[in-house]
Structure 1
Amino acid sequence: MTLPYIKMDNSITNTLPNEILAYVASFLVHDKQAQCAFTRVCNLFYCVAHAVFDQRPVFQYMCRCGYADVVKFFLADGRVDPAADDNYAIRFSSINGHADVVRLLLADGRVDPTTTDNYAIRWSSYYGYADVVGLLLADGRVDPAANDNHAICASSQNGHTDTVRLLLADGRVDPTAKCNYAIRFSSHNGYTDVVRLLLADGRVDPTISNYVMQESSENGRTELVKLLLEDGRADPANIVNYAIRLSSEDGYTDVVQLLLADPRVDPTAGNDYAIRLSSENGHTDVVKLLLADGRADPTNINNHAIQWSCRYGHTDVVKLLLEDGRADPAAYDNAAIRWSSENGHAEVVKLLLVDRRVDPTAYNNYAIKESSIKGNADVVQLLLADRRVDPTLKSSLQATSLIYFCGIPSLVNSTIFSSDVDSDSD
């Protein structure tokens, strides 16, 4: 006789936790008829039954999900083997952070927490389950240094401060493993509290290729840079002052300020890379710091700083460089006004025209020609207002066509008129 499905209100069955259903189903393991009836109640019951009526899968499922009360019942029943499938129960309760289940399993002599190369402590450390790690460390069988100190390396890399603290307190753990992996990758990922713990451990060496200082500076990790400078061992000047060069280029003002205060740092390294690239990238506050420091030379490499800040329209940087007085805005055949005009940076052009060193007619009136062709109306108007600029360029016809490109019809008549006057005078 085939038993029909019993239709139940899904709103009721769906509110029943799997933990309760599995517990109920566990009483039916020896009654085939009851199993069949339970299974056919609804899809939810069917799914639970499928995992429950074999004791091993349901026990492992309970461990994986953290149902400690049910796990306790199964262990007391005695029929299930908690070490089955290469100690699946302890491995997956650990990796999922179920401390109460792990405690129960460790109390059962059949369970081996060291299986699969100490999988339990390695992966509970990876995910930062400090309670589980504490329980496993208290079990003398567990080796926290397994797999080349995977536990401390992974927990440091992932920023699990409490787990790292527990592991460092265990003398078997070596935080310098894999070429000081722990401090290198915790700093790379910006985990300040972990780095602080590692630096406090006398075994850790933050000077390995000075990677830690370089990475922290390049990525703008202000608190980490401060920690490392206070520690004193890492050299911020390593690799041609990499730290200040890259933090300046990327605009990390607070990091640059910290580095400038360290006497080992040279902001002029790499042909004044710091001032050149911070200017080019428009990092005004960094440029201000470097100019105030006094050591950086904004004229290096043919006045790169002012040329490229003008080219990209970084008005505030250009203003700082002009006020400093050392940078020459006329360098490289007046590249500053040529490039800023060509790219339509009217505010920069306005600043440059006020400086007497700048010649807006340089390179055969390049500035007004290119700004006209590219339709930079505001720039053209500024240039035409400067008496040094020749808007006729060789012929009034050429000038008129250029101004039409610019979309300033009102200027056409004045240009033609001035050309006619010149013609009459001839």
Structure 2
Amino acid sequence: MDSHVELKQQQGATLRRLCQQGDTMLIQHMLRSGAPVDSSQADGCTGLWLASEQGHVDVVKLLCDHGANVHVAKQPGDVTPLYIAAQNGHTTVVTLLLQHGALPNAAKATGATPLYIAAQQNFSDIVSALLRAGAGVGIVNQQGIGPLAIACFLGNLESVRLLLQAGADPDAQSGGKTPFEWANSNGNGQHVGRVLEQFRESRQRDLERRRGLARGDDVTPLQQKE
């Protein structure tokens, strides 16, 4: 093996180990010494992936600032750094990755997106961050199940509220069931049903208010034109 190639491989292996451990100072030294920032194992696992998994915020920022590829997925499963960070509840890492161009809808092999796993885990701050970044509320996995369905099934009320506010349909079927039916099948029908009904009522009031404004119902005599 070429000595230069062997050196880069050794540097890459060391860098990945340091990224997993969160040793920011040594990582910075290695990057300045020419260590390949995107060096990966055979399964595609990079230093950024490992740091994202562990929630090492400073390491993730350092790697991203050095141009690390935020899209590289680990096999098997096509799990991106964003997905693993969302799964493990690392809100700041999720935000950093999104700021550096990570795709919010990049799904793993099962079709599950970062939003799906965040809603499943009820990490509401991550759900909010992904929604702000444009994550699709209607994207479903290979079983046809979407974020709202899994959140309702598990009784994750805050995630349910956030998804509804972002445009998820409270009555659309997902995987053959409505959100309420998913909740009810797991003993969460009462609490989730209340949230769904409150959302429908709020949406109806807003619709009626906008219709009233369009008709001029809320215009007072002082506001009317002569």
Q: Does 1:230 align with 2:65?
A: yes
2:120 to 280, 283, 298: 280
In structure 2, relative to structure 1, the CA distance for the partners of 1:322 and 1:293 (3 Å cut) is same
Q: CA deviation at 1:356?
A: 4.6
Supply the RMSD in Å over aligned alpha carbons: 2.4
Q: What TM-score do the two structures reach when normalised by structure 2?
A: 0.71
Q: Does 1:319 align with 2:158?
A: no
May I ask how many residue pairs the two structures share in their alignment? Answer: 180
Write the mapping of 1:195-344 to structure 2, written as runs, cut at 5 A.
195-202=27-34, 204-209=35-40, 211-232=46-67, 234-239=68-73, 242-263=80-101, 265-270=102-107, 271=111, 273-294=113-134, 296-301=135-140, 302=144, 304-332=146-174, 333-344=176-187
Q: Output the amino acid matched with 1:224.
A: V
SS of structure 2 residue aligned to 1:300: coil
Write the mapping of 1:143-154 to structure 2, written as runs, cut at 5 A.
none
1:351 to 191, 195, 199: 195
Q: CA deviation at 1:336?
A: 2.0
Q: Output the amino acid matched with 1:343.
A: N
- Between the aligned partners of 1:245 and 1:327, the Cα distance in structure 2 is 24
Q: CA deviation at 1:327?
A: 3.9
In the alignment, structure 1 segments of 5+ residues that lack a partner are 1-173, 358-426
In the alignment, structure 2 segments of 5+ residues that lack a partner are 1-5, 202-226
Q: Output the amino acid matched with 2:64.
A: L
SS of structure 1 residue aligned to 2:197: helix
SS of structure 2 residue aligned to 1:208: coil
Which residue does 2:208 correspond to in 1?
none
**C-alpha distance after superposition, 1:217-244 (max 9, x if no partner):** 1221111100001111x21111257111
Q: What TM-score do the two structures reach when normalised by structure 1?
A: 0.39
Which residue does 1:91 correspond to in 2?
none
Instruction: Indicate conservation of the 8 Å contact 2:149/2:179, yes or no.
Output: yes
Q: Highest Rg: 1 or 2?
A: 1
SS of structure 1 residue aligned to 2:80: helix
- Between the aligned partners of 2:169 and 2:25, the Cα distance in structure 1 is 43
Instruction: Indicate conservation of the 8 Å contact 1:299/1:328, yes or no.
Output: no
- Between the aligned partners of 1:279 and 1:245, the Cα distance in structure 2 is 12
Instruction: Indicate conservation of the 8 Å contact 2:52/2:81, yes or no.
Output: yes
- Between the aligned partners of 1:199 and 1:192, the Cα distance in structure 2 is 10
Instruction: Indicate conservation of the 8 Å contact 2:9/2:39, yes or no.
Output: no
- Between the aligned partners of 1:262 and 1:177, the Cα distance in structure 2 is 26
Over 6 Å off, 4+ runs: none
SS of structure 2 residue aligned to 1:288: helix
**C-alpha distance after superposition, 1:59-100 (max 9, x if no partner):** xxxxxxxxxxxxxxxxxxxxxxxxxxxxxxxxxxxxxxxxxx
Instruction: Indicate conservation of the 8 Å contact 1:175/1:198, yes or no.
Output: no
Instruction: Indicate conservation of the 8 Å contact 1:175/1:182, yes or no.
Output: no
Instruction: Indicate conservation of the 8 Å contact 2:37/2:66, yes or no.
Output: no
Which structure would you say has the larger RCO, counting Cα contacts within 8 Å and 6 or more residues apart?
2
SS of structure 2 residue aligned to 1:350: helix
Q: CA deviation at 1:334?
A: 3.9
Instruction: Indicate conservation of the 8 Å contact 2:170/2:178, yes or no.
Output: no
- Between the aligned partners of 1:197 and 1:255, the Cα distance in structure 2 is 22
Q: CA deviation at 1:326?
A: 3.2
SS of structure 2 residue aligned to 1:238: coil
SS of structure 2 residue aligned to 1:339: helix
Q: CA deviation at 1:181?
A: 2.3
Q: Does 1:184 align with 2:16?
A: yes
SS of structure 1 residue aligned to 2:119: helix
- Between the aligned partners of 2:104 and 2:71, the Cα distance in structure 1 is 9
- Between the aligned partners of 1:356 and 1:330, the Cα distance in structure 2 is 13
**C-alpha distance after superposition, 1:14-38 (max 9, x if no partner):** xxxxxxxxxxxxxxxxxxxxxxxxx
SS of structure 1 residue aligned to 2:26: helix
- Between the aligned partners of 1:329 and 1:308, the Cα distance in structure 2 is 14
- Between the aligned partners of 1:197 and 1:184, the Cα distance in structure 2 is 14
Give the percent of matched residue pairs that are identical in Structure 1 and Structure 2.
Answer: 24
More helix by share: 1
In structure 2, relative to structure 1, the CA distance for the partners of 1:268 and 1:177 (3 Å cut) is closer
